[in-house]
Every structure is written in structure tokens, then in C-alpha cells.
Amino acid sequence: MARIAYDDEAAAAFEATRHIPDQGLAAWRAAVTRHLDPRPGARVLDLGAGTGRWAAAFTDWYDDLDVIAVEPSAAMRARCVHPRVLPGDAANIPLPDHSVDAAWLSTVIHHVPDLAAAARELRRVVRGGGPVLIRSAFAGRHEAITLFRFFPEAIRVLDTFPSVADVAATFGACGFAVTAFDQIPQTTASSLSECATRLRREAHTPLQLITDDEYAAGLARLHRAARSEHGPVIDALDLLVLR
């Protein structure tokens, strides 16, 4: 079970606020291209695809790339913008053995209750030598994420997420090796004011798992800063690549 329930309310909040425009993802596109080798006809699994924004981006970025989205939440699947989305989760990927050339997991690894089961399933479905690309905020790595500047109490939630070492060790036991680990910048919003206006607590796991008082205090800090700070909001998440 995920750390939070992606019911209709959470899925709607995610759909409304977590999409980053393509122009804010230039560095992610370059990183994915570098590690994925998206040749025509290659098949990519978007595991825990949510509303399908990454699956749709990959389809837009690369000609003739075959992207299959898998998502456990019915509410998320109902909002998926990618046409090929299947019910399933990291421990039960509804695909045949050795049927994809690569797998993409974006901000989902902390929702996986059994990392070992996920590693075994990915070893099963990803063809030998194919990459597993994990985009995430990992435990202990909050410094480059604006959200934690204003909601420092949420760091304690982040620190319950898997660490890079946890993921590397668990996947290593299934034959994967780390081949890259990079911090990738993204333009999350045009300004702090936009962040403050668009923020929905339901769309962020760390914010759902702090207290109401802590959330209110953080929201007040964000609105105060938004009145005086200008310019785009640049965050950076980690990309862990295993083969």
C-alpha cells in the first residue's frame, strides 16, 4: 500500500499541481536521453505512472518509442493522459518476462512497500542490460528541494523514505548495479507566488504526513517569502540509474 491513499481528491490535486511544463524539464530530457538510448521501437515501462505525464512526455520527446504505463490507483488511471495504462504495481507488473527495454519510476519508490519484490519484478520484465531509471527525493537529500525550505517539519517524513544506499543494496541483490547517480535541476514554477497559489497539500506525501499546525506554519512562511522573492523556482531531484 502507498504511504498515502491516491483517492479522487489526491489524484485531482496531483493532476492540477504536479505537472511541470516541458520547458521546465530540459535537463531531465537530456538525462533521460543520455541513459535511456530511446531508439525507435524501444519499449519503456513507466511504473507508478500516476496521471501519465511522464509517459506522455516520453512519447512527445522520442519518435516511435513504445511507452506502457502501469499504475495501481484507479483514480490516477482515470486521469491518465497516456492511452496505454494498465492496473498493476511494483510487485505485480502485468507484463511478460523480458518484455521492456527500460523502466522509469518517478517519485514512486517511497510508495513501494516491498523493495525486494519490486527489484525482482523489474529484473523479470526488463531485458538484460536495460536501465531502470529512478527519479526521486531520497532520504537525507532535501537541500535542493524548495518545499523543505518552507516545510522543514516534512524532512522527518522524507527521512523515512528509502535512501540511495537502501535502493542500491536491494536492487544489487537482484543483479542490478548502479551505473549513474545525478542531481537533475528542473524549473518547478515561474515564481514562489505561483508555488503558493498552486500548492495543494493532497498532492505531496510529506505534507500529508505532517500535522495541520505544521502545515499551516509552513504555508504562512511560503506566502511571506512569495511577497518579496521573485524569479523562477529551481528544484533538483535525484536520478538513480541501475542496470
For residue 204, which amino acid is it? Answer: H
Q: Quick one: pLDDT at residue 162?
A: 97
Q: Give the Cα separation of 52 and 189 in Å (integer).
A: 20
Question: Does the pLDDT value for residue 1 go beyond 60?
Answer: no
Question: Does the pLDDT value for residue 57 go beyond 70?
Answer: yes
Contact 73, 8 (CB under 8 A): no
Q: Quick one: pLDDT at residue 13?
A: 79
* 161-178 pLDDT per residue, tens: 999 999 999 999 999 999
Q: Which of 18-32, 91-105, 129-143, 203-217 has the lowest mean pLDDT?
A: 18-32
Q: Quick one: pLDDT at residue 14?
A: 83
Question: Does the pLDDT value for residue 55 go beyond 80?
Answer: yes
Q: What is the mean pLDDT of residues 231-242?
A: 97
Q: Which residues contact 243 (CB under 8 A, 6 or more apart)?
A: 129, 130, 131, 132, 176, 177, 179
Measuring CA to CA, how many Å separate 213 from each of 9, 58, 156, 208?
Answer: 21, 39, 15, 12
Spatial CA neighbour of 207 closest among 19, 52, 17: 17
**What percentage of the chain carries pLDDT values higher than 70?**
98
Q: What is the mean pLDDT of residues 196-221?
A: 96
Question: Does the pLDDT value for residue 28 go beyond 60?
Answer: yes
Q: Give the Cα separation of 15 and 203 in Å (integer).
A: 8
Query: What pTM did the predictor assign?
Result: 0.94
Domains of the chain: 8-242 (3.40.50.150)
Q: Quick one: pLDDT at residue 11?
A: 78
The SS3 assignment for 88 reads coil
